[in-house]
Amino acid sequence: MMSPKYFGRPFSSVLLLLAAVSLAAFASMATTLARMSVAQMSLAAPLIVRARCLGNATRWNAGEIWTFTSFAVEEVWKGSAPAQIDVRLLGGTAGNLTSTVAGIPRFRQGETVVLFLEPTSRGDFSVLSWEQGTFRVRQNARGAGEAATEDTASFPTLDPATRRFDVSGIHDLPVDALRQQVRAALSAGVARKP
């Protein structure tokens, strides 16, 4: 027969923790992002930057695991930013626990990205539409300058018009062409305002 201590407070805490982790895992599998164009993101994001990842730190905050990534800002395409910014995204590993949320980008130290950002109430930033607002910058496969690839090139998004999920995203677009798309959207958006 099991000891009554086995079903005491520590056992209840473990069960509660397992239930919370299971619910978080279920919720992360249910992530749905509506597709946004570069023009839509350009108008919606208060800050658009080209930046280099300096590093990541993961910690508990407000009962959740968060990953905080620091970036050195190389260019500001919209808005204004200090030389270094911090981006907060849900999930990561803290101790023996890992929280994974589908659609949230993760960054590697040293990589260059273009990010469509929105401020949080805590003074840092979040990526607008997560993977859609993340473009990885690499040398063009043909050796002709830099190209940007949107993270949604591998993550299905919902097309509101067709109500279907499709893996779509920008592949190997020259960075200058992406910058021009952002500028054109911002110019058109300003021209439409009364």
% of the chain beyond a pLDDT of 70: 76
pTM (predicted TM-score): 0.77
Domain-located, residue 15: no
pLDDT of residue 165: 75
Picking from 169, 58, 145, 73, the residue whose alpha carbon sits closest to that of residue 113 is: 73
Domain-located, residue 7: no
SS3 162: coil
Tell me the residue ranges of DSSP E strands in the chain: 47-61, 64-78, 84-90, 92-94, 97-99, 112-119, 125-127, 134-139, 146-150, 157-159, 164-166, 173-174
Q: Tell me: the pLDDT tens digits for 7-50? A: 455 544 443 344 444 444 434 344 556 778 999 999 999 999 99
Q: Among 62-66, 81-85, 119-123, name the most confident range.
A: 81-85
What is the average per-residue pLDDT within 65-74? 97
Query: Which of 30-44, 47-61, 103-117 bottoms out in mean pLDDT, i.e. has the lowest?
Result: 30-44
Show the domain range for 130.
Answer: 37-192
Give the CATH number, domain containing residue 69.
2.40.50
pLDDT of residue 33: 64
pLDDT of residue 91: 95
Domain-located, residue 27: no
Domain-located, residue 5: no
What is the average per-residue pLDDT within 177-188? 96
pLDDT of residue 191: 62
Q: Tell the residue number behind the tokens 């050195």, with chain if given.
A: 72
CB-CB contact of 88 with 120 (8 Å): yes
Ramachandran bin of 86, using left for φ above 0, alpha for ψ from -120 to 50, beta for the remaining angles: beta
Q: Among 25-39, 79-93, 135-149, name the most confident range.
A: 79-93
Domain-located, residue 11: no
% of the chain beyond a pLDDT of 90: 60
Domain-located, residue 18: no
Q: Tell me: the pLDDT tens digits for 124-137? A: 999 999 999 999 99
β-strand 146-150 against 134-139: which pairing, if any? Answer: antiparallel
Domain-located, residue 41: yes
Domain count within the chain: 1
The structure tokens listed for 83 are 């030389």
